[in-house]
Amino acid sequence: MLTLGQIAEHIGGVVKGDEAFQVDSVGTLQSAKTNQLSFLSNTKYKKYLATTRAGVVIVNKKMQADVPHHAIVVDDPYVAYAKAASLLNPVKQHQAGIHNGASVSPDSLVHPSVSVGAQAVIEAGVELAENVIVGPGCIVQNNVKVGTSTRLIANVTLCDGVQIGKRVLIHPGVVIGADGFGIANDDGTWIKVPQLGSVRVGNDVEIGANTTIDRGALDDTVIGNGVKLDNQIQIGHNVVIGENTVIAGCAGVAGSTRIGKNCVIGGAVNLAGHIEIADGVQLTGGTGVTKTITESGVYSSGMPAEPNQQWRRNIIRYRQLDKLVERVKQLEIHNK
C-alpha cells in the first residue's frame, strides 16, 4: 500500500484530497475500485470521470474540478501514470543462481548475482554482468556480452558476438543476430553472402516479443539507447536506429536503412533499404517509405478503410487516372 502523498511526491504531482489515503493497485476509470489509482489523459474517456469508483485519479489542471474523489494534478497524466504504475508494481526480484537444468559453459564469465533459468544455454566466451536475468529456454551463444540489469524473459536467442547494453528488457521469442538476408544472383542461382557483422544494442532498450534483429553483413546493426521496439518487428542487416526512437508492431525495416533519433514509427510501416530517415520523423500506421526523408514532420501513405462499394468506385477512378490526365491535356491544348 502507498499513500496519495507518497505517489504524488514520486511523480511530481499536486494532491487534491487526503494525502494519507492509500491505494494498492491501478485500474481503468470504468473498472477501478476505491483502493485503486486511475488516470485520464484522453478526453475521449472524460465521460467516465463523474462515475468512476477509483480512489485516486491522475489528471491535468483542466480536469481536476471534475474528479469526484482524490486526485493528483500533473502536467502530463499519461507519463505520471506510467511512473505511478511502476511504483505500485515493482519488477519482480529473481534469486541469484544457476538452475540445475541450465547449461553454462565453464569458459563463460557469469557474475555471482546473475540468475539463469531452466533449460537456458550459456556458451563459451559469454559475459553476463551484474544482476542480469536469463529466463528459461534462452540461448546465449559464443562471445555475447550482456550489460548490467538486463533481462531476457524467456526463449530469447542472442547469436554469436551480439552486444547488449544495460537495463535492456527483451521479451519472449526475440532473436538478435541471426544472419541478414544477403544473397547474390550468379546466373540464375542464388548464393549466400556471409553475414560477418554483429548487432549492438544500447542501454535502456525494450524489444517486444518475436521481434528479430539481423546481424550486419560487414558493419554492425545498431540499436541506439532508449529505443523501444514493439512485438513482431523485422530489423534488417546494417540498420541503424537512433536514440529514443519507438517502432510499433509488425513494422519492417530493410537492410542498411538509417533511422534518426526521436522518431515515432507506427504499426505495419515498411521502410525500403538503403534510405535515411531524419530525426523527429513520425510515420503513421501502414505507411510505405521508399525514399529518404530529410526533414522532421508527420508522413503518411496508403488508403484508409471505407465502405466497400465506395472503395470499389474509387479504385475504378484510380485506374482511369492516366486517361483523365491525357483528356485534361487535350482540353487545355484545345482551349489555347
Give yes or no: residues 112 and 239 share one domain: yes
Residues with Cβ within 8 Å of 331's Cβ and at least 6 positions away in sequence, in order, are none
Q: How many domains does the chain have?
A: 3
CATH number at residue 286: 2.160.10.10
Give yes or no: residues 148 and 82 share one domain: no
Give yes or no: residues 61 and 10 share one domain: yes
Distance of alpha carbon 178 from alpha carbon 29, whole angstroms: 43
Give yes or no: residues 122 and 103 share one domain: yes
Give yes or no: residues 145 and 269 share one domain: yes
pLDDT lower than 70: segments of the chain: none
- C-alpha cell of residue 323: 486517361
Residue 64 φ then ψ, to 5°: -60, -35
Give yes or no: residues 163 and 241 share one domain: yes
Please report the pLDDT score of residue 21 as a whole number: 97
Give yes or no: residues 273 and 186 share one domain: yes
List residues with catalytic annotation: 237
Boundary of a domain, candidates 57, 88, 119: 88
**Which among 92, 90, 85 is positioned nearest to 37, based on CA atoms?**
85
Give yes or no: residues 111 and 250 share one domain: yes
Boundary of a domain, candidates 61, 88, 115: 88
Please report the pLDDT score of residue 302 as a whole number: 86
CATH number at residue 50: 3.40.1390.10
Please report the pLDDT score of residue 304 as a whole number: 82
Give yes or no: residues 76 and 137 share one domain: no
Please report the pLDDT score of residue 10 as a whole number: 97
Which range marks the domain in which residue 323 is found? 308-336
Distance of alpha carbon 25 from alpha carbon 175, whole angstroms: 33
Give yes or no: residues 193 and 238 share one domain: yes
Q: How many residues does the chain have?
A: 336
Please report the pLDDT score of residue 11 as a whole number: 98
Distance of alpha carbon 134 from alpha carbon 138, whole angstroms: 7
pTM over 0.85: yes
Please report the pLDDT score of residue 264 as a whole number: 99
Give yes or no: residues 55 and 140 share one domain: no
Distance of alpha carbon 140 from alpha carbon 126, whole angstroms: 7
Q: For residue 258, what are the β-bridge partners?
A: 240, 276
Give yes or no: residues 289 and 177 share one domain: yes
